[in-house]
Structures are given as structure tokens and as C-alpha cells.
Amino acid sequence: MAAARVYKHPETGDIAIPRVMFALSEPLRLSMVQLLSERGEVDSVELGPDLPRSTLTHHTSLLRESGVVFVRAEGRQCMIQLRRDDLETRFPGLLDTVLHGYQESNPGMAEA
């Protein structure tokens, strides 16, 4: 058995504001986060069905390295989820405020 894909994540205490802010400063990533917030854990592809895979990996990696999302391998796909609790612990209210504020200007963006 070979070691499956393993992803490095920052410790909760190491999640830094500037990194998080930067991660959430891109509309594309912001949309991803918003979708994650609505759906819970999703297949990475759902975050950008039309994007080239290498571009998708780029953004999911950035979100992961900044501490915003948790990534795990599931077979050959990878599943992504928000680190809600960790973010809430570290920066209470931040995520909700940002998502609420963004949603306001992007109504009806990721509807089921």
C-alpha cells in the first residue's frame, strides 16, 4: 500500500489574517468558498467545473495553504470542505460576515 495523497494544512493557530484575506480577495475563490458554505463537503470539481484542472488545483491549494479549506483524498478525486470551526475559533464571525457581504452583491449565484 502506497501512502495515499496527503495534504498539508496549517495548524489552526497558524492561520494568519493576511493569507486568509488574500485567499478571499479573488471573486473566483470567494465563489468557491460560498459554494462550500452551502454544500458542506464537495468534490473539488464542483468548485469549478469549467476550469482547467491545473487552474483548479492552483486555487484549491491556495485556499488550503491559507487555512480556509480542508482537503482530503477520496479515491482519485479530492473532497474539499470549509474549515468553519477552525476559522470561527481563530477569527470569530469573519467567515459569516464576508460571505454575507459577498452574497449581497452576488445574489443568486450558486443556486441548487
Partner DNA sequence: ATGCTTGTGCGAGAATAGTCGAACGATATG
Partner DNA sequence: CATATCGTTCGACTATTCTCGCACAAGCAT
- Residues lying near DNA in the complex (CB under 7 A) are found at 2, 4-5, 7, 22, 26, 28, 43-45, 51-62, 71, 73, 75-78
Other CB atoms within a 10 A radius of the CB of residue 59 amount to: 19
What is the biggest distance separating any 2 CA atoms in the chain, rounded to whole angstroms?
Answer: 48
CB of residue 46 vs DNA: minimum separation in angstroms? 9
Residues 6+ apart with CB under 8 A from 16: 66, 67
> Quick check: 21 binds a second copy (CB under 8 A)?
yes
Q: Which residues contact a second copy (rule: CB under 8 A)? A: 16-19, 21-22, 24-27, 30, 90-94, 97-98, 100-102, 105
